[in-house]
């Protein structure tokens, strides 16, 4: 696993991390924005205590371990895309915490996401984080799970955020939540 000092991580503030997208995109996961560790490794959901990849593995969405904290290599990225999976963020700039973002940034990110989904046409979009989803799309009543409306051409889900700061969920409960949109997307049987 990579190691960074606080100063090294701070140097990645406002850095962007490229979307991880492939030609057969069936399920697009949407994070809130990159954290500093993610920016440093150029790998989504990379912080060592983030439970995204362990939850995907437990759910069977991926079938081999990905050590994101060390940074994905080209083989990891190719494998992830080959599963019909992709990752983007509502806001592209890296911060230490998502609460550093403004409501305006999240709304602009929601518009950008709609454009991306309309262009790429994934079957399912899963936004990781109910509060950010509510702010980005102005839907204060939204709950977790499948949403009653689509996002462009895609079925829309809101799933729990896998950040280590979200203590309400375990790898097992995240795996259950992520398996539902994965089944809807045809990634899981």
The percent of residues above 90 in pLDDT, for the chain, comes to 93
Instruction: Tell me what the pLDDT averaged over the chain comes to.
Output: 95
* Band of residue 1 on the pLDDT scale cut at 50, 70, 90: low
pLDDT digits (tens, 9 = 90+) for 38-83: 999 999 999 999 999 999 999 999 999 999 999 999 999 999 999 9
In the chain, what are the domains? 20-184 (3.40.470.10)
* Band of residue 189 on the pLDDT scale cut at 50, 70, 90: confident
pLDDT reading at 165 higher than 80: no
Euclidean distance between CA atoms 6 and 54, whole angstroms: 25
pLDDT digits (tens, 9 = 90+) for 116-162: 999 999 999 999 999 999 999 999 999 999 999 999 999 999 999 99
């Amino acid at each position: 696993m990579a190691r960074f000092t606080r100063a090294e991580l701070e140097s990645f503030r406002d850095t962007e991390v490229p979307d991880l997208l492939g030609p057969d995109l069936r399920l697009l996961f949407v994070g809130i924005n990159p954290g500093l560790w993610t920016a440093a490794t150029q790998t989504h959901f990379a912080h060592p205590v983030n439970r995204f990849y362990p939850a995907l593995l437990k759910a069977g969405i991926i079938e081999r371990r990905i050590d994101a904290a060390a940074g994905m290599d080209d083989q990891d990225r190719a494998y992830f895309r080959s599963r019909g999976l992709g990752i983007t963020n509502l806001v592209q700039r890296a911060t230490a915490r998502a609460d550093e973002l403004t409501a305006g940034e999240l709304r602009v990110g929601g518009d950008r996401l709609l454009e991306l989904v309309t262009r790429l046409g994934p079957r399912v979009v899963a936004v990781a984080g109910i509060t950010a989803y509510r702010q980005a799309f102005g839907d204060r009543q939204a709950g977790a799970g499948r949403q009653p409306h689509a996002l462009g051409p895609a079925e829309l889900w809101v799933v729990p955020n896998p950040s280590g700061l979200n203590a309400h969920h375990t790898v097992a409960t995240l795996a259950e939540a992520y398996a539902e949109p994965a089944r809807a997307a045809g990634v899981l049987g």
